[in-house]
Amino acid sequence: MAVRSFKYVIVGGGVSAGCAAREFAKQGAKPGELAITSKEAVAPYERPALSKAYLFKEGFARLPGFHVCVGSGGERLLPEWYKEQGIELILSTEIAKADLAGKAFVSAPGETFKYQTLLIATGSTVCKRTVASLGTFMESMHVIIKLTAFKVQRAEAKNIFYLRDIVDADGLLEAIKAKKNGKCVIVGGGYIALVLGAALKINYLDVTMVYPEPWCMPRLFTADIAAFYEGYYSNKGIRIVKGTVAVGFTAHDNGEVKEVHLKDGRVLEADIVIVGVGGRPLTALFKGQVEEEKGGIKTDTFFKTSVPDVYAVGDVASFPLKRARCLCCGLSTSTMLATSVLIQAIKAAEEGKTVEEYDYLPYFYSRSFDLSWQFYGDNVGDTVLFGDNSPTSAKPKFGTYWIKEGKVVGAFLEGGAPEENKAIAKLAKFQPQVETVDQLKAEGLNFAIKYEAVKFVKLLVYYRCD
């Protein structure tokens, strides 16, 4: 097979790859220098759209409408854009072997690719680990689970879905159309499960969510925050089953799923099952060749790995943050910022220059039904709940502050206006000292708004004096 050589190669075709290509072009990469390899058959696109607008009623998000980097307010990179820039977009190509020491990797068909600088952007993947009990595993881990990898009865039944790429989304969409007004069981109570629960309910399905934790999204939400969303979803007609897991299925004669069997003995009817309990960084290609940390590929603040000329970004990277424990960032906006700094660092290194370290403020958001929340910072320490968090309110608006060692280190807000979301972001970034927790309880959202105003005045005075 032929050997192809490039100055830069990106392995992975997700949001990180598209954003990196955009920055390489801005930094003056020459035609023929950059190649992107991807298992998917389409150019990089905004993956979050798959669990949101893609599953809404007819006429919403479809390609080419959500190619990278439109989700973060940037230019939409259509397939022809890569050709115009002289970027080799190698699609429908799975990488079978990586040789980081030899600066090469081999595709499944046997083609060899050589590189000078490698960017790993493989994202997260389906877990293939085999264990005796799915229930035990799901109670202790948060991964995308391929049920056929476990000893689970009838896990191969039709209409059991895992939403990872556009092919998965297309399959789910066809099932939604075929099973109109049918029953859907969502296995999981995390971020993706909550978004999918809303999307399926909007499509007139009878939705039940099943998860082992005492409340939804326990890695981010407090019990008080979760109580609002569980109540709101219940009021929308979504049933929530907590404290148990799915351990098996039964199927109709045609092979389609019929029932979900739970560990506590209950049996749920199901026309569609969606498994959405998290993701695991895809690092298998590089095992033993690069240092890992907390399941991902360890990088420094410039996204460099332990191997010279090899970088990692996105879900696959274990990145050191200054303000929080979180080490991975997968949202489009944060990915665009991260890849921008990364490519600038690569180009600076070539010229013997340096760039500023990436100072990322952890940021998460979600929209479902008529709800919209944002979170900034870290969710550690004591908490203060403020505002109206009644799930029956016409326009609920509430939030939570996290306080550690006398400082506000994290902030969450549901139903905030743009300027209010900006205020809580500033609060989490600068981590102001708090005199008493009672102060936060009394002022609520006004504490963030007042701090934002004071910060602006101080900056204005600084620049005038300067």
Q: Are residues 315 and 229 in the same domain?
A: no
Closest CA to 82 of 6, 17, 2, 11: 17
Pairing of strands 3-11, 112-120: parallel
The residue segments making up the domain with residue 76 are 3-123+282-350
Residue that finishes a domain, picked among 298, 317, 350: 350
Tokens for 428?
Answer: 């989490």
359 is a domain residue: no
364 is a domain residue: no
Count of domains observed in the chain: 3
| Exposure string over 55-64, b if 16+ CB within 10 A, otherwise e | beeeeebeee
365 is a domain residue: no
332 is a domain residue: yes
Tokens for 34?
Answer: 């950059």
Q: Rounded to whole angstroms, how far apart are CA atoms 99 and 287? A: 11
Q: Are residues 271 and 320 in the same domain?
A: no
What pLDDT, on a 0 to 100 scale, did the predictor assign at position 1? 66
- Write the CATH number for 406: 3.30.390.30
Residue whose structure tokens are 């958001």:
365
Torsion of CA 338, 339, 345, 347, to 10 degrees: -160
Q: Are residues 117 and 131 in the same domain?
A: no
Q: Are residues 330 and 418 in the same domain?
A: no
178 is a domain residue: yes
What pLDDT, on a 0 to 100 scale, did the predictor assign at position 70? 85
Torsion of CA 172, 177, 179, 182, to 10 degrees: 90
Q: Are residues 28 and 74 in the same domain?
A: yes
Q: Rounded to whole angstroms, how far apart are CA atoms 34 and 30? A: 8
Are 88 and 6 spatial neighbours (Cβ–Cβ below 8 Å)?
Answer: yes
Q: Are residues 189 and 168 in the same domain?
A: yes
Q: What is the pTM of this model?
A: 0.88
Residue whose structure tokens are 């948060």:
142
| Exposure string over 346-367, b if 16+ CB within 10 A, otherwise e | bbeeeeeeeeeebebbbbbebe
Tokens for 364?
Answer: 């998460």
Pairing of strands 280-281, 124-127: antiparallel
The full length of the chain comes to 466
Are 134 and 246 spatial neighbours (Cβ–Cβ below 8 Å)?
Answer: yes
Query: For residue 64, is the peptide bond before it cis, meaning its omega torsion is within 30 degrees of 0?
Result: yes
Residue that finishes a domain, picked among 219, 254, 275: 275
Q: Are residues 252 and 300 in the same domain?
A: no
Q: Rounded to whole angstroms, how far apart are CA atoms 435 and 275? A: 45
Q: Would you give the distance in Å from CA 300 to the centre of its chain?
A: 21
Q: Are residues 238 and 260 in the same domain?
A: yes
What pLDDT, on a 0 to 100 scale, did the predictor assign at position 2? 83
Closest CA to 259 of 356, 139, 154: 154
Closest CA to 317 of 37, 24, 97, 12: 12
286 is a domain residue: yes
Q: Are residues 61 and 15 in the same domain?
A: yes
Q: Are residues 255 and 134 in the same domain?
A: yes
Q: Are residues 135 and 252 in the same domain?
A: yes
- Write the CATH number for 48: 3.50.50.60
Q: Are residues 434 and 295 in the same domain?
A: no
Residue that finishes a domain, picked among 238, 259, 275: 275
Query: For residue 69, is the peptide bond before it cis, meaning its omega torsion is within 30 degrees of 0?
Result: yes
pLDDT tens by residue, the chain, 466 residues: 689 999 999 999 999 999 999 999 999 999 999 999 999 999 999 988 888 889 876 657 889 999 998 877 788 999 999 999 999 999 999 999 999 999 999 999 999 999 999 999 998 864 433 222 333 323 333 333 455 444 555 567 899 998 889 999 999 999 999 999 999 999 999 998 999 999 999 999 999 999 999 999 999 999 999 999 999 999 999 999 999 999 899 999 999 999 999 999 999 999 999 998 767 889 999 999 999 998 899 999 899 999 999 999 988 998 887 666 544 444 556 777 889 889 999 999 899 998 888 778 888 999 999 999 999 999 999 999 999 999 999 999 999 999 999 999 999 999 999 999 999 999 999 999 998 888 899 999 999 999 877 664 444 344 445 4
Residue whose structure tokens are 């009394």:
442
Angle between helices 15-26 and 332-350 (to 10 degrees): 40
114 DSSP β-pair partners: 5, 104
What pLDDT, on a 0 to 100 scale, did the predictor assign at position 323? 61
355 is a domain residue: no
Residue 264 DSSP symbol: T
